[in-house]
Structure 1
Amino acid sequence: MKKKLLATLLSASMVLGIAACGSGASTTTGTDTQQTTTDNAQQTESTATSAASETAAAETPVEYPTVTFMTIDFNSGASNTGDYAEQTMEALESHTGIDVDIQWVQSDVLEEKATLAMQDPSSMPMIMTWNGSVTGTVVTAAKQGAFVDLTEYLKDTEKYPNLSKQNAGVAESLTVDGKQIGIYRARVLGRYGVSYRQDWADALGISEPKTIDDIYNMLYQFTYGDPDGNGKDDTIGLEMTSYTGPFDIMQTWFGVGNGWAEVDGKLIPVWQQPEYLEALNWFKKLYEEGLMPSDWASRTTDTWSDGCKNGENGVYIDVLDGGRRVWDYFVNNEIPSVTDASQFASMNLLSNINGKTMATSGYNGYFTLSASTCDTPEKVEAALTFLDKMCDEEMLVLTNFGLEGVNYEINADGNVVRLDNGDDALKANYNGLNQLVAYIPNLESELSEEKTERQLLEAEVKADAEQYAVLNPALPYLINSTTYASQGKDLDDKISQARTQYICGEIDEAGLKAAWDDVLNRGYSTIIDEVNAQYK
């Protein structure tokens, strides 16, 4: 929708009225009076003409450049809807100076919709959102010139004061054939860690774990030591579903890399490291001893963290904010501590075990600019201006908290107090608009709610985790591996499946190694060669 900004001016009739009052105050007589009357008439006529001209100009709409934007709808059609949706969008467009035309797409069909859009280049949205990291589909399209090369644009610190502060290492992961084809959506590097039931640990006299053996002891005691004190065999140490991210994190404790590792000057996939098999044997031991759910491989990911919330599990290994949300659940639902019923159950958050944790890629999802519809420098600049200004403090506040006086107010301490807690209809006006934000260079606004003890600990542990976070050294090279672009995801899935089968005892070590040999023969040897040719 086009926004028409009309300046607030006095009407011509008001100006005439003021002028008339001014002339009536004269006490001059005779010829002077006649001259004064003539002068006043001329002045009034001039003022009226000027006012009429200004009013006409004010009524001429100021039209913003239009940017079309395909992005994710996580709200089942309720993104930017409701009574205050238009007011919210007006605030967003007024700040950015861009009329944004949003095409909302459900997350699970985003790549399909984006791929279909690329089949008709003339109608591609100017900005397109992509989930996760760069896929083979995007790399192939980039090589065919589907996206604008942003390399030089993003060096302009005056036009793009936010985007130009991007992390060079993360941006390299979005570089194809030397051209940056996307703008990443920033995430914390040190986001992964260990969270566990502190009251369970206190009840069993377990101190904060530092080593792999300490974690094993905690998992064993949480399973067989009756940590909730109810005299029943109804607890299991490790929270686990078919989502295998916890294995990726725990592997790093053994010295395994993050996807890939540098060994003797060469980059190799981690399943070629001796430490990888050592880690898998440890996971296998946890499974065989019942320290994680026996049906973990078939538990759906939408139940992730339910075990901890419901008192079945005591250790949660994933993002630290996930562990903090479990703790929030305990407090918000007044779940009593097993050691003191007058207190709430609690979690502790750890940045590392054995001096290691897994780093994130530094981003989750990214934006591309379509070369076919951003086909002039002016259109590219309009799209980049919008993305840059969406990273301003004002937009971080709007997309996170909504409208002041409607969705939130600011208390005497300068903290946000939400007015829409529990009111999903009221939140709907700004729901989803955070999907338009790249979060460069700031992940959060300066304005915030008063932090709870839990949130403060989360921030502290995340900051600490960065120094222990193991990065993936192959990310910049995988994106430019032709074979990885076409086959990498399928081959990585086969490696992950073999890991699961080995842990659950469906295949033995010989079967595991046979699976590794199979993916090497199917193309992974070529991927390794292509990665190292760039690395050297």
Structure 2
Amino acid sequence: MNKLTGILLCVALLVGVLAGCGNSNKTDDKTSKPTINILTAVTGGKDEEGMKAFEKELGQLTGYKINMIKPADDYNTVLMQKLKAGGENLDLVYFDQSQLPDLVKQGALQDITSAVEDSNILSDTSIIPEKEWKNIEIDGKIYASFNKKEIERVVNVNEGLINKYGIDFKDADTLDGYYQLFKQLKDKDKTQGFYPFNVSLSLLFDLQPWFASEGLKGGIVVDENGKKTVPWSTDAAAPVWSWLRKLYKEGLMDPDALTDTTKELRNKFQSSQTGVVTDWAAWTGLYNVNAAGSYPNEFKAVAHGGTKNKDGAYMLTRGAASLWGIPSTSKNAKEAMKVLETLATQKGGDLLSVGAKGYDYTDDNGKVELTEKGKEAGMDHGAPFPISEKYKSPLPYNPGVEDALGFLKYASTESYLPETADYTTIVSKEAIRMVKGEVSVEDGLKEMRENLKAKKVID
């Protein structure tokens, strides 16, 4: 009898233990927090160690485990492959505004309109102005939130060279004024391989400051009646194309401008192989930081507005929005929204710009100092200028950036339409032919318009 009782007692205890284990697992399932998988192109640490520090701090700010995936190259191809493969458990993906319409059309992104409206942070217009949301709406709906505040592209001049050669230059404001500057630089700097001016013709990014002289906006312009035009293809654009042709012909423009990418252009400007380029306002500061001991006497990037239109105003390009979207396959949309909210806070902005505390910077009772890793990152971990209007940087901007941002009031974003890819292909092809002199400016513009119309880029 006692033996039987003992057996039954053991069985009862075993069942109880197993039941307890089962209940324990269920509790863990309910209380455990998901891992938020993020596909990123530019946001995060600069290397593997820096990325781990970034993930850890973002995790602390949000309360979730963060896993950031940063492809080594060809980001857009990787993005599309992963989305087409069912999302691969991704909860946030990075892309720019030009990709947004196509991603929405494919049904790749979740509609987050209601979530934004319900968010005390994202719906606060003192943090993110309503015009920013309007700029990225698709048919009145919101499918993404912001990575950073977009700034403008300015003309960067290496005033180290200007001062070295005693050239009198402040703001030329006209095509001829810049032509005279380039002539002086070419006459005085006999360094082999030096060209006063460089531009990436194939990308068209760098041309807006020069077309301002004729009051012409880049990209596809849609009027109030819905008519599409490309101002740079009109006869009114001929003086600017002729000016570029003259610079190329006279050896004032780097001949590699026909093929140079932004990376190559930056390397040449940084090493004083060229004197004037167009680049983002943030890069005015990055150039100066990267110059190290050569700044400010030998190298000093200074922002200028380019040329002015007939109303005396500069016309610059503001960047397309860099965005975060939640894939339609994500099972952690609520948690992903928390991450997006965090990026719009002061601490989120600190992480995106200055970096991870304890890794990129130290904070001793309010005294913030960059570490060596932080200095190498240049206060840019994806958002040198965080999206929040309330954001206050704990450190000054890099040298020259404050002045560069003064031109933001002259900048506007180009339209991003389904026809934009064809616009870029056609205009850049004819631009190269005209600048090289393979075709006259008159004939080049005529052919440009014909091709744009054939592809229904213009009406």
TM-score range, shorter chain: 0.7 to 0.9
Aligned partner of 2:386: which letter?
A: Y
Residue 366 (structure 1) aligned with residue 366 (structure 2): no
Q: Displacement of 1:436 after TM fit?
A: 9.4
Cα displacement string for residues 417-446 of structure 1 (whole angstroms, at most 9, x for unaligned residues): 325368x8xx8xxx99x4599933159653
Residue 499 (structure 1) aligned with residue 423 (structure 2): no
Distance in 2 (CA, whole Å) between partners of 1:413 and 1:143 is 47
Q: Which of 330, 334, 338 lines up with 1:381 in the alignment?
A: 334
Q: Report 1:197-212 matches (<5 A).
A: 197-201=159-163, 203-212=165-174
Q: Displacement of 1:319 after TM fit?
A: 2.1
Aligned partner of 2:105: which letter?
A: K
1:169 — aligned with what?
A: 131
Q: Displacement of 1:283 after TM fit?
A: 0.8
Cα 1:195–1:167 change in 2 (3 A) is farther
Distance in 2 (CA, whole Å) between partners of 1:437 and 1:382 is 25
Residue 119 (structure 1) aligned with residue 87 (structure 2): no
Residue 255 (structure 1) aligned with residue 215 (structure 2): yes
Q: Displacement of 1:197 after TM fit?
A: 2.4
Distance in 2 (CA, whole Å) between partners of 1:111 and 1:200 is 40
Residue 148 (structure 1) aligned with residue 110 (structure 2): yes
Distance in 2 (CA, whole Å) between partners of 1:251 and 1:77 is 36
Secondary structure (helix, strand or coil) at the match of 2:216 reads coil
Aligned partner of 2:141: which letter?
A: K
Q: Which of 95, 99, 106 lines up with 2:61 in the alignment?
A: 95
Q: Report 1:382-397 matches (<5 A).
A: 382-397=335-350
Cα displacement string for residues 40-87 of structure 1 (whole angstroms, at most 9, x for unaligned residues): xxxxxxxxxxxxxxxx9xx989522443322226899943568xx3x7
Q: Displacement of 1:394 after TM fit?
A: 2.3
Q: Which of 364, 370, 377 lines up with 1:417 in the alignment?
A: 370
Distance in 2 (CA, whole Å) between partners of 1:159 and 1:207 is 46
Q: Displacement of 1:292 after TM fit?
A: 0.9
Residue 133 (structure 1) aligned with residue 103 (structure 2): no
Q: Displacement of 1:90 after TM fit?
A: 4.1
Residue 246 (structure 1) aligned with residue 206 (structure 2): yes
Residue 67 (structure 1) aligned with residue 14 (structure 2): no
Secondary structure (helix, strand or coil) at the match of 1:415 reads strand
2:6 — aligned with what?
A: none
Aligned partner of 1:408: which letter?
A: Y
Secondary structure (helix, strand or coil) at the match of 1:178 reads coil
Structure 1: segments with no counterpart, 5+ residues: 1-55, 338-342, 479-483, 529-536
Identity of aligned residues (%): 14
Q: Which of 214, 227, 236 lines up with 2:177 in the alignment?
A: 214
TM-score by length of 1: 0.68
Structure 2: segments with no counterpart, 5+ residues: 1-23
Residue 459 (structure 1) aligned with residue 402 (structure 2): yes
Aligned partner of 1:206: which letter?
A: D
Residue 469 (structure 1) aligned with residue 411 (structure 2): yes
Distance in 2 (CA, whole Å) between partners of 1:67 and 1:182 is 16
Secondary structure (helix, strand or coil) at the match of 1:348 reads strand
1:21 — aligned with what?
A: none
Aligned partner of 2:350: which letter?
A: V
Is residue 193–residue 465 contact of structure 1 (8 Å, CA) maintained in 2?
A: no
Cα 1:80–1:168 change in 2 (3 A) is farther
Residue 447 (structure 1) aligned with residue 416 (structure 2): no
Aligned partner of 1:372: which letter?
A: T
Q: Displacement of 1:221 after TM fit?
A: 0.9
Cα displacement string for residues 360-398 of structure 1 (whole angstroms, at most 9, x for unaligned residues): 1352x3111122334xxxx43221111111332223334
Cα 1:524–1:353 change in 2 (3 A) is closer
Secondary structure (helix, strand or coil) at the match of 2:70 reads strand
Q: Displacement of 1:406 after TM fit?
A: 4.7
2:240 — aligned with what?
A: 279
Aligned partner of 2:195: which letter?
A: I
TM-score by length of 2: 0.78
Q: Which of 306, 310, 314 lines up with 1:356 in the alignment?
A: 314
Q: How many residues align?
A: 424
Q: Displacement of 1:171 after TM fit?
A: 2.9
Q: Displacement of 1:159 after TM fit?
A: 5.9
Q: Displacement of 1:218 after TM fit?
A: 0.6
Is residue 239–residue 305 contact of structure 1 (8 Å, CA) maintained in 2?
A: no
Aligned partner of 1:334: which letter?
A: S
Cα displacement string for residues 450-486 of structure 1 (whole angstroms, at most 9, x for unaligned residues): 55xxx35321331x212222443x44xx2xxxxx2xx
Q: Displacement of 1:263 after TM fit?
A: 6.6
Q: Displacement of 1:412 after TM fit?
A: 7.8
Is residue 308–residue 315 contact of structure 1 (8 Å, CA) maintained in 2?
A: yes
1:510 — aligned with what?
A: 443
Q: Displacement of 1:202 after TM fit?
A: 6.5
Aligned partner of 1:459: which letter?
A: E
Secondary structure (helix, strand or coil) at the match of 1:195 reads strand
Q: Displacement of 1:113 after TM fit?
A: 2.4
2:72 — aligned with what?
A: 106
Q: Displacement of 1:154 after TM fit?
A: 1.3
Aligned partner of 2:300: which letter?
A: S
Cα 1:162–1:304 change in 2 (3 A) is farther
Structure showing greater Rg: 1
1:35 — aligned with what?
A: none
Is residue 186–residue 443 contact of structure 1 (8 Å, CA) maintained in 2?
A: no
Aligned partner of 2:209: which letter?
A: I
Q: Displacement of 1:179 after TM fit?
A: 1.8
Q: Report 1:292-331 matches (<5 A).
A: 292-330=253-291
Cα 1:164–1:63 change in 2 (3 A) is farther
Distance in 1 (CA, whole Å) between partners of 2:92 and 2:126 is 18
Aligned partner of 2:130: which letter?
A: A
Secondary structure (helix, strand or coil) at the match of 1:359 reads strand
Is residue 391–residue 442 contact of structure 1 (8 Å, CA) maintained in 2?
A: no
